[in-house]
Amino acid sequence: MLLATFGTMTVNTVVLKMCAFFGGGEQYSQKGWTLAFVCLMIAFVVLNLITFFFCKERVVDTENAEGARQEKGPSVIKCLKSLVVNKYWLLMVIFLFSLYFMMSTFFGSAYYFAQYVLGDESAYSITANSLSMAQIVMMFITPFIMAKIGKRWTGLIGMVAAAAAFVLTALAGQSVTLVVACNILKGAAFGCSAATMFGLLQDSITYGQWLTGVQAVGMGNAASSFCMKVGSGIGTAALGWILDAGSFTADPTSASAIASINVACIWVPVITCVIGAVCRWHLIWISTIKRLWTIWRRENGRAARRIPLTTTIISEIPCSSCKGHAVTTLTRCSQE
C-alpha cells in the first residue's frame, strides 16, 4: 500500500506534464492523453512482469511428521459455504466494495473539482499530492497506533475522520488552502484505513476457519479482490452517470455541473465512509467476544482438532486461569 500510494502521487504529478509534452504543449489533446497513457501502461506491464518473474514464494508444501502427504484442501462448495456464513467476512466485503467505489468517484472527479469548483486547474497537483503525502506519513505511524488501540479502532477512527474531512471540504468553498488542509486530513484517515483493511480481512477469514473448520483463505481473498474490482468498475461508471445527470459535457461551468462534481467528489465519499465506519463498528461489537470464547472452550477440549493459529478477530479473550489476564490467541494462556 505504501508504494502504491507513492505511485499514485507520482502519476498525479507527471500525467498532465506528459500530456502537454506529447500533445505539443496542449494538455487536453487526444494525442497527448493517448500517448501519455500508452507510456504509463507500458511501464505498468513491465513492472508486473518483473514481479511475476522475480518474486518467489517462500511457502513450500511439506510432508507431515509421519511422512504422509497433507490432506486435500476443501472443495469450492465448502469454501463458499464457509464464507457465506461468516458475517465478518461479508462485512469486510461490503467495506472493500464501498471503499473502492468511493476511490473511483473521488479520484476520478478530483481534477474537475480543482478546475471548475476551485477555479484553478493547477491546484490539482498540490491538492492530490497533499493527500498522498499525508497517507504515506500516516502509514509509518499506524503501527504504533495499532499497538495501542488495535486494528479495528484504528480503521474505525480513520473512516470517521475521512467522512468529517469530506464534509469540511464542502464548507471550504474555493479556498485552495482549506481544501489542501482537508486533503491532509483525508490522507491521514486513508492511511489508517489502508494500513488495517487487509489485516482485518485476514482476521475475518481466520474467524471463519475457527467457526466452520474450513480453511478458505485463498477463496476468501480472491472473492474479496473480485468485489474490490467490481466496486472500482461500478464507481467509474457511477462517476459518468453523475456527471451526465449534471449536464457536465454540455456546460461544465453550469450550476448543475458544479453540483454533480461536488456529489461525486464529496458526498458520495461521505456516504461510503459512513458505510465503512458502520462495517468497522460491527467488526468490533457483533458478538465477537462471545463467539470466540465459545470456540476457544469448545476447541480446548479437542486439542487434536484445534487450529494452531496466532491471529484473532479481537485483541483480547478473557482467561479464567489467571485472574483478569487476557490472551490474544485461541491457544491456552501462557500462565496456565
Assess if residue 113 is contained within a domain.
yes
Distances (CA, A) of 104 to 3, 92, 196, 226, 240: 19, 18, 20, 15, 11
The mean per-residue pLDDT over the stretch 153-178 comes to 93
Asked if 245 and 111 sit in the same domain, the reply is yes
Mean predicted confidence (pLDDT) in 44-62: 80
Give the count of domains, the chain.
3
**278 and 296 assigned to the same domain:** no
User: pLDDT tens for residues 84-124?
Assistant: 888 889 999 999 999 999 999 999 899 899 999 999 888 88
Residue 73 scores a pLDDT above 50: yes
Largest Cα separation within the chain, whole Å, is: 75
Q: Are residues 297 and 275 in the same domain?
A: no
For residue 318, the surrounding DSSP H or E stretch is: strand 317-318
Give yes or no: residues 128 and 205 share one domain.
Answer: yes
pLDDT per residue over 12-42, tens digit each?
Answer: 778 878 888 888 888 778 888 899 989 999 9
Q: Which residues of 15-38 are buried (b: 16+ CB within 10 A; e: fewer)?
A: bbebbbebbeeebeeeebbebbee
Q: Is 318 found in the same domain as 217?
A: no
Instruction: Assess whether 17 and 152 both reside in one domain.
Output: no
| Average pLDDT of the segment spanning 130-157 | 89
Confidence of residue 246 (pLDDT cuts 50, 70, 90): very high
Contacts of 203 (CB under 8 A, 6+ apart): 88, 151, 311, 312, 313
CATH code, domain carrying 275: 1.20.1250.20
Mean pLDDT of 276-298: 64
The enclosing H or E element of 174 equals none
pTM of the model: 0.74
The three cell numbers of residue 83 are 464464507
Whether residue 59 lies inside any domain: the answer is: no
pLDDT at 326: 40
Q: Could you give the C-alpha distances from 279 to 92, 156, 160, 200, 282, in angstroms and in order? A: 7, 9, 12, 11, 5
Stronger pLDDT, 310 or 4, i.e. the higher one:
4
What is the rounded CA–CA span in Å between residue 260 and residue 218? Answer: 40
Provide the pLDDT confidence category of residue 209 given band limits of 50, 70 and 90: confident
Same domain, 281 and 318: no
In a domain, 70, yes or no: no
Q: Select the more confidently predicted residue: 140 or 291.
A: 140
**Cβ contacts of 138-144, under 8 Å, gap ≥ 24:** 138/187, 138/188, 138/190, 138/191, 138/192, 138/195, 139/1, 139/2, 139/5, 139/191, 139/194, 139/195, 141/191, 142/191, 142/192, 142/195, 142/196, 143/195
Whether residue 205 has pLDDT greater than 90:
no
The residues facing 225 across adjacent strands are: none
Residue 60 lies in a domain: no
Look at 256 and 66; give whichever has higher pLDDT: 256
The DSSP output letter for 89 is: H
If you average pLDDT over every residue of the chain, what do you get? Answer: 80
Q: Where in the sequence is the domain holding 305, given as residue range(s)? A: 289-327
Pairwise pLDDT comparison (17 vs 175), residue with the higher score: 175
- Tell me which of 118-132, 208-222, 255-269 is least confident: 208-222
Q: Are 189 and 158 in contact (CB under 8 A)?
A: yes
Q: Is 124 helix (H, G, I), strand (E, B) or coil?
A: helix
Domain-embedded: residue 64: no
Give yes or no for residue 65 having a pLDDT over 70: no
pLDDT for the residue 333: 36
